[in-house]
Amino acid sequence: MRKGFKHDTVLLEITDTIATIIMNRPERLNALNTELWQGLEEAAKAVEAESKVRVAILTGAGRAFSSGLDIKESKSPEDMLAGMEFRGAFEAVKYFRDVFSLYQSLPIPVIAAINGACIGGGMEVALACDIRLAAEDAVFSIPEVVYGIIPDCGGTQRLPRVVGPGIARELIYTGRKIDAGEALRIRLVDHVYPAAQLMDEARKLAAEIASRSPAAVQATKRAMNVAMSSGLEAG
């Protein structure tokens, strides 16, 4: 764990110019609870404060990237934030969405290394990353409609921009699960690797990006974010 960063549910490792952020609730398939959301927020801010870091990798400990909202802990966003300083569904959802948006707005590129389940909120945070790599055993779904709610952490805005509006609507309207091969075919992910090679490939790509001019890479990310994110806050 990075010195000065202490969090049980998120680990932060920095090696040279590469930061690795690890969602660390493997016993719950990295389901998103209050502590994990707060850990993701703190990790993003810690990475941004490290001037030497040029690329970040986001992944999950154990068998999953993230299985989405921890419905065993809470049945509503308001309940999840009961111990925090604000109340209400709007404020809760805005907080969750803003945490994921930190990864899109980080000045450095973020690579999602997706292992196993990437469901609901897990898929939404992956969509906030610049590049998505997946293990062959990865599965993807935005199943909110199955539970009578909508994807409210950026999925309705970011997914159409990644896979196109028709495929995005189909995935969101049905809540269907797809495997890594289908995710690659529709361009939800950029590369698929055997599970044992996923992190090596993520580090290899991160190192290649880190070897380029950091000023040029960061300026390019800012320019592409402006082009891709127009109107994102409207949804």
Residues 200-220: tens digit of each pLDDT: 999 999 999 999 999 999 999
The whole domain housing 120 covers 10-199+209-234
Q: Each residue of 16-52: pLDDT tens digit?
A: 999 999 999 999 999 999 899 999 999 999 999 999 9
Can you say whether residue 68 is alpha, beta or left, with left for phi > 0 and alpha for psi between -120 and 50 degrees? left
Query: Could you tell me if residue 179 is inside a domain?
Result: yes
Residues classed as catalytic: 124, 144
Number of neighbouring beta carbons within 10 Å of residue 82? 11
149 confidence band (pLDDT: 50, 70, 90):
confident
Query: Could you tell me if residue 68 is inside a domain?
Result: yes
234 confidence band (pLDDT: 50, 70, 90):
very low
**From the CA atom positions of the chain, what is the Rg in Å?**
17
134 pLDDT higher than 90: yes
Query: Could you tell me if residue 190 is inside a domain?
Result: yes
Query: Could you tell me if residue 150 is inside a domain?
Result: yes
86 pLDDT higher than 50: no
H helix runs in 15-164, sequence order: 34-49, 77-80, 89-105, 121-127, 155-163
- The pair of structure tokens assigned to 202 is 């993520």
CATH number, domain of 72, equals 3.90.226.10
Number of domains in the chain: 1
What pLDDT, on a 0 to 100 scale, did the predictor assign at position 231? 55
Query: Could you tell me if residue 100 is inside a domain?
Result: yes
Q: Please give the DSSP secondary-structure letter assigned to residue 195.
A: G
Query: Could you tell me if residue 106 is inside a domain?
Result: yes
Beta strand extents in the chain (DSSP E only): 10-15, 18-23, 55-60, 64-66, 110-114, 117-119, 131-135, 139-141, 178-179, 191-193
Mean of the pLDDT values across residues 155-160?
90
Query: Could you tell me if residue 1 is inside a domain?
Result: no
Query: Could you tell me if residue 115 is inside a domain?
Result: yes
What pTM was estimated for this model as a whole?
0.89
